Structure 1
Amino acid sequence: MVQNTAKRAIRGSVRIRGAARCGENDGVTRVVGRQGRVTGRIGPGLVGEVMVPIRGGVEAFYAYPSVPDEEIPVGSIVVVVEYSPPRSVYVARAIV
C-alpha cells in the first residue's frame, strides 16, 4: 500500500511539472521576447540583473547588453533578445 502511494505522488509531480508537454522544451520560447525591468545596471564589463515576469511570477536573470558597449540604467524597461540557460539573458532597450 505504501508503494502505491509513493508511485502516485511521483507520477503526480511529473504531471504538474510537465511543461514540455506544451511544446516548451527548454524555456527559450518562454523567455525570449518578454519585457523586464533592470534592477542592476547593465553595461560593458558589468553583469546586470533584470526581473522578468514568467511562469506566474517574477524571476531574476543575469543580464548582458545585446548591443556591445550599450549602458542600460536601473529602472529601464528591456526586451529579452536571447536566453542562455540557466539564468542569463541578452537584452535590448524596449521602445515604450
Structure 2
Amino acid sequence: MGDMVGKRGKVTGGIGPGLVGEVMIEVRGGVEAFLAYSALPGEEHAVGELVVIVEYLPPRTVYVAPAFG
C-alpha cells in the first residue's frame, strides 16, 4: 500500500479517548476506510476533520494528528 505516513485523510467516525474512529484515505486511485486512533493520548478528532497519518499498522490501522495548512 506504499507509504501511508504523511497522507491526509478525513475523519468519518469520531476519534478520542477510549474510542476507535474511522478515517477515509485515498489509496490506489480510490478511497478506503481505516481504523484510527489519535497519535497523542487524550486528543479528539471530530467527524469531518482533516488529519495526517503519523503511523500505519498493517493491514488497516492508522494513528493520526491534526492536519494544518
Same fold (TM over 0.5): yes
Structure ranking higher in strand proportion: 2
Residue in structure 1 matching 2:23, options 32, 36, 50: 50
* Contact 1:37 1:50 survives alignment (8 Å): yes
TM value normalised by structure 2: 0.95
Moved over 4 A (4+): none
Uncovered stretches (5+) of structure 2, i.e. residues with no partner: none
**Pairing 1:70–2:51 present:** no
Change over 3 Å in CA distance of 1:85–1:73 after alignment to 2? same
Q: Give how far 1:32 is off.
A: 1.2
Over the matched positions of the two proteins, sequence identity in percent amounts to 62
Larger RCO (CA under 8 A, 6+ residues apart): 2
Partner SS for 1:63: strand
Distance 2:54 2:28 in 1: 18
Unaligned stretches of 5+ residues in structure 1? 1-26
Larger radius of gyration: 1
Structure with bigger helix share is 1
TM-score (ref. length: structure 1): 0.69
Could you say what the CA RMSD is over the residues aligned between the two structures, in angstroms?
Answer: 0.9
